[in-house]
Amino acid sequence: MEAMTIGAPMYILEHLYLVLIPMGIALVIALPTGIILTRPGYRHLSRRTMAVLGAGQTIPPLAVIAIFFPFLGLGYGPAVLALTIYALLPIARNTITAISGVPEDIKEAASGMGMTPWQVLKSVELPLSVPGIMTGVKTSAVLTVSTAVLAALVGGKGMGAIIFAGINFFRPELILAGTIYIGTMAIIMERFITMMEWMITPAHLR
């Protein structure tokens, strides 16, 4: 019972950091990269990039941490690094798919009327890609919330600490508590992002 109340807020907060920081970094990297990979000069790179990111996804997070151990040691740093790598793929892939999915005739008409490529991107391609991109962000967020549990194994703390404590000390109520917290966190994040998505979705799709 104590685990549910006293220690919990600190762990929840730590877990939140372990989700928000990698997500933030991932967004800053993956969104622009995804957009660039849909531009005419760079389209041929997109398949290879996706392949690399996809391959990265198959490496277990612990292996990533182990690889960087000599450089970063244990603790927060490597945990955030591993989580960021995992958060990148859904965002990048969905961004590319969504932007590529904007119908050609709409882009053709927009260019043909005299919009510059930048204007076409800003006023046509991006607004119409919002649903697809946000799906990627949601997927990434939910994935990160659960993967962040592993950070506890290398001293990154977070809710993983409670869950692994429960495993190691045979206290199932801790496992249950930890799981409920991260499950709730995932749901809240997803709802929150959906709300933001609704605010920026173009009117014709609502």
Partner 1 sequence: MMIELKKVSKTFPGSDRPSVDQVSFRVNQGNICVLLGPSGCGKTTILRMINRLEEPSSGEIIVNGENITGVDPPILRRSIGYVIQQIGLLPHRTIEQNIALVPELLGWSTSRTMKRVRELLEMMGLNPEEVARKYPYQLSGGQMQRVGVARAMAADPPIMLMDEPFGAVDPIVRIRLQDEFLSLQQRLGKTICFVTHDINEAIKMGDYLIIFNQGRLVQMGHPIDVLISPADDFVLSLIGDDRGVKILDLTKSEALMEPAGEIPGDLIESGCVVQSIQPVKAALEVMMKKNSDQVGIFRGDQAIGLLSWDRIKKHVNRVSG
Any idea which residue has 């649903």 for tokens? 131
Any idea which residue has 């800003």 for tokens? 122
Any idea which residue has 């740093």 for tokens? 77
Span from 63-71, 85-93, 119-127, 191-199 in contact with partner 1 (CB under 8 A) = 119-127
Among 16, 124, 165, 175, binds partner 1 (CB under 8 A): 124
Q: Is 195 in the site for partner 1 (CB under 8 A)?
A: no
Q: Is 116 in the site for partner 1 (CB under 8 A)?
A: yes
In terms of CB distance, is 65 or 98 closer to partner 1?
A: 98
Put residue 116 in one of left, alpha, beta given phi > 0 → left and psi -120 to 50 → alpha: beta
In terms of CB distance, is 55 or 205 closer to partner 1?
A: 205
Among 105, 168, 169, 195, binds partner 1 (CB under 8 A): 105
**Chain centroid to CA 65: how far?**
18
Name the residue type at position 91: I
CA distance 161 to 84: 20
DSSP structure string for 137-195: HHHHHHHHHHHGGGGGGGT--SHHHHHHHHHHTT-HHHHHHHHHHHHHHHHHHHHHHHH
Minimum CB–partner distance for residue 132 and partner 1 (Å): 14
Q: Is 10 in the site for partner 1 (CB under 8 A)?
A: no
Q: Is 6 in the site for partner 1 (CB under 8 A)?
A: no
Among 26, 128, 133, 141, binds partner 1 (CB under 8 A): 128
Minimum CB–partner distance for residue 130 and partner 1 (Å): 9
162 within 8 A of 11, measured Cβ to Cβ: yes
What do you get for the CA distance between the two ends of the chain, in Å? Answer: 44
Minimum CB–partner distance for residue 104 and partner 1 (Å): 8
Minimum CB–partner distance for residue 81 and partner 1 (Å): 38
Q: Is 109 in the site for partner 1 (CB under 8 A)?
A: yes
CA distance 151 to 137: 21
Among 82, 110, 174, 177, binds partner 1 (CB under 8 A): 110
Site for partner 1, rule CB under 8 A:
103, 105-116, 119, 123-124, 127-128, 202-205
